[in-house]
Structures are given as structure tokens and as C-alpha cells.
Structure 1
Amino acid sequence: MEARVHASFETFAEPAAEVFGADPVRHTGALSAVASARSRRQAEAMVSVHDGDRLHGAFIGDRGWPAMVSGLPVDAAQLVADALVDAGAKLPGASGPEPQVEAFGQAWTGNIGVTPEYGFRQRVYELGTLVDPTGVRGEFRQADADDTEVLLRWRAEFLAEAVTYVPPEQNPAQALAHQLTGGSVFGLWCVDGEPVSMAFARVPEAGMTRIGFVYTPPDQRGHGYAAGVTAGISRRAQQAGIKHVALFADDANPVSNRIYQRLGFEYVLSYLEVKFTGEPLRH
């Protein structure tokens, strides 16, 4: 087998589309990283794995987020870790299905002498038949530029509360504006015209969008608003013709998992995250 480290997105785009596009729900995290890399024409780590003339796998790490290893076969983990060390790559962690994460985590940390810290688990769901929640007061609407202030505030609160590792953002307002103008959609659940909950649907990749940033401020929780906004943004995605609607749920949060299942989301697989902590002995 051969691991090819790509210096430009142009050479990585074709193998990435072939590997990740073959199963967009399994590779939802990798496809988000690909979208980010495409917009900037680069990423920190892009690797394709080849077995003779056959494409065997793909790996991407971007912008300080955990590297996405869902497309990296277990038998290629050491090969890719070796190639990335030789290329001088710096990785804060990895995320994906458990076998791939454990294989790459062991290979990478063994190479550079840091400690793998396994922990955060998420469930990946895909929407089947959408079931609207009942008895939830309010209505759904799509957010726009006039909602920037509340979206920025809730986006920051969501990241602080629900995401285990967040790379520092130099300009959150610019990041939000890019999301709003780049084909992604924020939705709001409103009561008497006032927003009480939000959700986000990423720009589609390979016929898949992922719902995220599902957030209700603490003083508004317990009224079903998160279910309402998730159903609203999911319905909008389906009406737009998007085939696969996916989302992540914290494995340790039984409330959110129950909500998503009641809305018609079906469990697909689990993701494990590993952080690479400590000072590398070599790089």
C-alpha cells in the first residue's frame, strides 16, 4: 500500500469524493472538513491510500479540529501516521468510528510520543420519516442577517457547552457570515415573534446535510423548543431535495437522543474522539 500526502486540495478532491461520497452519513464529519478545505483550497492534512491501482481510503485533518478517520482503513493507520509524521503534520486529535480512531490513535501517538486521551462519544443519526412534535408553542422560521446578534451569542454558548475541543476563532462574526452566505442555513423557533431556540443545517455535501448547533438557552428549556426547531430545519432540508439528513448526538445525553429518535432520526453508528495530549518527543 501507498499513502499519498496531498499538498493541494486539487489533487485530493477526487479521492475524497470517491471515498467519502460513497457513504455520506458515515463520513459526515469528513465531508464537512472537505467543504472547509475546498473553500480555502487547502487543509492541514490530506492523505489518500492506494493499494496498487485501487483507492483504499482517505484521511483529512483541517483547521485545528480533530482529524476525520472514518475513511481510513484500520490496516492503513500506521502507514498514514508514518507519512504524516514525515510531512510534519500537527494533529490535536482524531474522530470517527471506534476501530479507526483506536488504530490511528495508537499509531500516531506511538510515533511522536504523546498520550492518547480517549473519551467523547457521539451517535450519528439519519432522518427516516419526520415526525413533527406535538404541543410545542411557537413556529419555525429561517434566520437571516438581522438575527446575527442572537446567532453569534447562542453559537458561542453552544460551543462552550457542547463541544469538547474548539479551535480558537479569530473572527466569529466572519465565520457566521460565511456560513450564512455559503449555502448553510440557520433556523429559529420563535414564540410570539421572539427566538427561543436555534438549529443549523450545513451546506449539502454528496446529497447529505448535517444538523448542528441545536441550542436552547437554559431559561427556555423544557418546553420542546429544541424538538420544534430541529423538526423545522429538517423539514426545510427535505423540501429542498436533500436525500440524507444527519446529526450528531452526545452519547451521554439521554434527553437529546430521545428527542431525535421521536422526531424520526435513526441510529447509524457511533463516533469516538481521541485527543493527543502532552509534548511530542519528536515531530
Structure 2
Amino acid sequence: MEHSDPAPLQLNQHASVESFALSVGLKLEGAEAENGLLLGMIEVCRTKPDPVPFMAEIIGAKGIEAVAFYRDLNLILTRGPANAWPLLVEKLLELNYEIPGVIGPAEASEGFARAWAAAKGCQLKLSMDQGLYQLNEVFPPVGIAGEARLASQADLDLLAEWSHGFYQDALPWELPGKEEIHASTLARIQGRSLYLWEAKGEPVAMTALARPTARGISVNSVYTPPAHRKRGFATALVAAVSAEGLARGKKFCVLYTDLQNPTSNAIYQKVGYRLVCNTRNYTFRY
């Protein structure tokens, strides 16, 4: 449950990623799995600095109480006191930001979303109610035909098509254009982060490693085309790719699941994932 801090709060905005990282790094790494999305975005900004993101910390009697980051799709939040969100809304309005959505721990995300919708007179929609899971040890499923392999450039067209299918199924409101999907799929292949499960020589499922942090790495873009579903291929692939993440020297892997899908939540728990927190993504309709 979010704590309530009656002490006055101060918002400190950062102009550079390095300044921001130096200031909030210890705060974020104190709950590294929970804050992995924000930590990962800091690393992305170090290699792709434009456009310059909105980066801020909210400081109170206990030091840094909350952290906020926004560049394109969603405002990303950490946990924070309820009185942090009106202060953040005020600052974003002052800077004329139009925020399409917000993601973070459930109470933080909801607190900001309600304050923003009230200030802007817009509608808010709960787009995703997710569980953030962490894995420290893999328990691979048995009896699943096939094996995992790294994707190659020969797989590009197929995996671009599957990536489009993933967005249509899981994130339709964020669906990129075909050229953007093609380019991002190629980059993942070249970065040796995209994996396939292959059964009898045929690719049947896809997933990826993404957003490494100091001790962890994310498993995402889990997708099985409709013709190959309900055979355990994605589960086996997630287990294998999670093991690869640990083999790369990471202490844990993280994965987001749809809390409205009890089957997928149960399956990932069987291979070693444990619930860290509930996160919510709200989108705004202006």
C-alpha cells in the first residue's frame, strides 16, 4: 500500500540523462526488478539521446520519494506518495506535455492517471493490468518437442510478421508501422537478442531478451502464431531464453504478464517466475 507523506514535496527536473542516472540510480536499483523498465530506458537514452526525455525526481522528508520519466509512449513511474502526482501533473502541464499514457506500480499509475485526467478533462482507460514477475532459477518444462535457437537474418520477414501479430494481440494501441517493425526486428536479430523455438525444423514461437540492468534482464515479445498455440512452445522458449539471460551473468530475469489471463500467469510460475508487483498502464483519450 502506498504511504502518505504530509511533508511538502519538491520536484527536481534533470536536463541530462547522466545527471538523472547519478541522482536516482541508487533509488531505482534498490528495487531493481520493479524499476527495470525505467532503468532500461536510461540505458536506451545513453545510446539514443534524442529526443531528450522528461526526467524528474520528487523529493520529500525521506529523500527521493518518486521518480518519473517520459519520452514517447508512456510516462514511467516508480512507487510514490499520493501527494506526488498532483505536483507532477502541474509540472507536465507547465511544460505543455501531452501524455498518451502512464505505466508503473498500480497505485502510482492510478494516482497519476486520475490527477492527469481531472486536470486535462480527458478520459482514462485501463489498457493493461499486469503482473511483474521475477525469476532467479529456471525450472524447464519437460516433454515439449523442439529446441530454442537464436534468430538469424534469414528469419527477418517471418519475425517481422510475428512482431506485428504480437502488437495486434498485446499492444494494439502501440502498433508501429510495418517499416518500423521491420527495422526493430532487424536490430534485435543483429543484437543477438531475438530467439525462436523450432519444432521439426519449423519456427513455432518467438521471444526476446531486452533492457538489461545491472543485475537483471527482461524477457519480452512472447508470441506464438495461432496455428501453434496450446502446445507449450512459448513456455519452453521462455524457460530457455530465461536460462540464457542467467548464463549471460544476470542474477534474475523479469517478465510482464496479463493478470486477466490466469493460464499464462500459472505457466510462467511453473518455470520459476514469482510475482513482484502489480503494474498498470492507463491511456488517455483527449
TM (normalized to structure 2)? 0.89
Within the candidate set 146, 150, 162, 1:138 is matched to 146
CA contact (8 A) 1:20 1:71 kept: no
SS at match of 2:137: coil
CA shift digits 1:27-80 (9 cap, x unpaired): 1222233233232224442212223793332101222x2211124443311111
Question: Contact 2:163 / 2:181 at 8 angstroms: preserved in 1?
Answer: no
SS of residue matched to 2:83 = helix
Look up the match of 2:249. Answer: 241
| 1:61 matched to 2:73 | no
Shift of 1:228: 1.2
Q: How far apart are the structure 2 equivalents of 1:130 and 1:231?
A: 6
Q: How far has the Cα of 1:5 moved from its partner?
A: 2.6
CA contact (8 A) 1:189 1:198 kept: yes
Report the CA distance between 1:164 and its aligned residue. 4.7
Structure 2 residue ranges without an equivalent (≥5): 1-8
Letter in 2 for 1:102: E
1:233 maps to a residue whose letter is V
Contact 1:15-1:55 at 8 Å conserved across structures: no
AA in 1 matched with 2:25: A
- Secondary structure of the 1:134 match is coil
- C-alpha change, 1:120 and 1:176, in structure 2 (3 Å) is same
Contact 1:44–1:89, Cα closer than 8 Å, also in 2: no
The answer as to 2:165 corresponding to 1:157 is yes
Shift of 1:135: 0.8
Structure 1 residues 37 and 73: alpha-carbon distance in aligned structure 2, compared to 1, 3 A threshold: farther
2:262 aligned partner = 254
Task: Return 5+ residue gaps in structure 1 as ranges.
Answer: 279-283
Partner of 1:19: 27
Superposition misfits of 4+ residues, deviation over 6 angstroms: none
Partner of 2:111: 103
Q: What residue number does 2:280 align with?
A: 272
- Quote the residue 1:9 is aligned against: 17
Per-residue CA shift, 1:115-146, capped at 9, x if unaligned? Answer: 22234201111114311111100011122333
User: 1:187 is paired with a residue of what secondary structure?
Assistant: strand
Identity, % of aligned pairs? 26
Residue-by-residue CA offset, 1:248-273 (whole Å, 9 max, x unaligned):
01111122112101111111111112
Distance 1:40 1:108 in 2: 28
Q: Say yes or no: does 1:196 pair with 2:204.
A: yes
Q: Is the 8 A contact 1:30 1:68 kept in 2?
A: yes
Q: Is the 8 A contact 2:41 2:211 kept in 1?
A: no
Q: How many residues align?
A: 276
Which amino acid in 1 is paired with 2:265? N
> Is 1:94–1:105's contact at 8 Å kept on the other side of the alignment?
yes
Paired residue type of 1:148? L
Are 1:208 and 2:212 counterparts? no
Q: Does the CA contact (< 8 Å) of 2:15 and 2:55 recur in 1? A: yes
In the TM superposition, what is the alpha-carbon distance from 1:13 to its structure 2 partner?
2.3
Root mean square deviation, CA, Å: 2.1
Q: State whether residues 59 and 71 of structure 1, in contact with CA within 8 Å, keep that contact through their aligned partners in structure 2.
A: no
Shift of 1:167: 5.6
User: Which letter does structure 2 place at the counterpart of 1:159?
Assistant: Y
Counterpart residue number, 1:50: 59
Contact in 2 for aligned 1:5/1:84 (Cα 8 Å): no
Please state how far the C-alpha of 1:166 moved relative to its aligned partner.
0.6
From 55, 72, 92, the counterpart of 1:84:
92
In structure 2, C-alpha distance between the alignment counterparts of 1:273 and 1:218, rounded to whole Å: 26
Q: Return the letter of the residue paired with 1:54.
A: G
Instruction: Report what 1:281 is aligned to.
Output: none
Structure 1 residue matching 2:173: 3-state secondary structure: coil
